[in-house]
Amino acid sequence: MRRPLVVLIGVVSLIAFGVPCLAGQSKTVSGLAVGETTPSFPVLAVTGPHKGKEVCYVCEFIGAPTIFAFFRQTGDEMASVVKELNELARRNKDIRVVAIIIEGQESQPWLEKFAQEHSITIPLTVLRNGKDDIAMKVYKLNANINNTILMSVKREVAANLVNVNAENFKMLTNALSKVLDQKVE
Amino acid sequence: MIVRTLIARSSLLIWVIAWSSLVSSAQNGGAEPNRESRYPLITSEELKRLIDSKATQDIVIVDTQPREYFADAHIPGAVNLPYTDRIKPPVNLPRTKTLVLYCPCQNEEESTEMAIQLEKLGYSKLKLLRGGIPRWRELKYPTAKISTGKNPSE
């Protein structure tokens, strides 16, 4: 008599707690949601025409289709995605791309060397105060995620992707094609 | 002979004008000299002089940064009206004073957009801070901090 009751409680518990946990694991959240406005935020430019200066790329790019790629830290994985982004920007002159490294100012020498060695032309920037920077809160960034890629058009988030890498980069070009309503290679 | 003298004098005049514009741009603290703006510009140096001489009674300094950035650092005496593509009235800013708007942009993009909206809401005395807060910081002028932002639109 008691056995079916125990089984029933087990099944109900699994549905109530297990399923949401599994769903939560598969969906990693970081960055502003689609439809939200992109607030202006200053970064420290490590490369590009504003090298060494505080710049607001949201302001500079105004309403142009823009990719803001936030990376947790420098390294091989970040490097491979930045190279892909650089190529994307080279092929599609209408879009603006900026890479922002969360780990902060200590990554500057690495970024300068990397940009020089690989002819990276998209601006590489850092958050002045690392993961304590106000941008982390304003952009709702999760500091534990490798990267958060936001695409915006007319200062509105049109796509939000996380943990992009060289292998799944196609999902970024697909999302961009959808956002721009044109094929992006 | 007269023609030659006239040509010589006008060339001299052109050189004088060109030289004085160069000098004035250098005095402008390295900021881009003759960038076109829809609204009159005021430099950080001019604004600092007004603040220092306590001559700000006829102006309101309006900061268009997101609230969090305003709380962290803003020009002393400024009020926060965060950038939006549609300002919702009522706006609690005086129409009788000159509004000096600034943004975190190098080329006043956001403050220009906000000024356009304010103009549509009946504000006619509008000025923009040339180079925004980045220029102010570059000059190492003081900034103020608060724990909660004053928001005139609320």
- Is position B106 within any domain? yes
Best residue of B32, B67, B69 to probe chain A, by most A CBs closer than 10 Å: B69
Instruction: Out of 3.40.50.360, 3.40.30.10, 3.40.50.12280, 1.10.760.10, select the CATH number for domain A31-180.
Output: 3.40.30.10
Angle CA B147–B136–B146, to nearest 5: 5
- Over residues A154-172, the mean pLDDT reads 94
Q: Return the pLDDT at A28.
A: 79
Same domain, B65 and B126: yes
CA pair distance A162, A149, nearest whole angstrom: 6
Annotated domain spans of chain A: 31-180
Tell me the nearest-neighbour CA distance from A99 into chain B, angstroms. 18
- Over residues A30-44, the mean pLDDT reads 95
Same domain, B12 and B52: no
Q: What is the CATH number of the domain that holds B109?
A: 3.40.250.10
- Asked if B104 and A42 come within 8 Å (Cβ–Cβ), the reply is yes
* Burial bucket for residue B50 (CB in 10 Å: 0-12, 13-18, 19+): middle
Boundaries of domain holding B131: 41-138
Residue A9 reports pLDDT greater than 60:
yes
Q: Return the pLDDT at B147.
A: 66
- Asked if B105 and A59 come within 8 Å (Cβ–Cβ), the reply is yes
Helices and strands (H and E) in chain B: how many: 5, 5
Same domain, B46 and B84: yes
| Ranges of chain B with pLDDT below 50 | 13, 16-33, 149, 153-154
- Is position B49 within any domain? yes
Same domain, B53 and B118: yes
**Domains in chain B: how many in total?**
2
Same domain, B45 and B73: yes
Q: Return the pLDDT at B1.
A: 53
Q: Return the pLDDT at B19.
A: 47
Q: Is B101 on the interface with A (CB under 8 A)?
A: no
Same domain, B117 and B53: yes
Q: Read off the pLDDT of residues A72-83 as tens digits, 9 standing for 90 and up.
A: 999 999 999 999
CB within 8 A of A25, min separation 6: which ones? Answer: none
Q: Residue B58 CB: number of other CB atoms within 10 A?
A: 11
In this complex, which of A40, A54, A155 lies closest to B103 when CB atoms are compared? A40
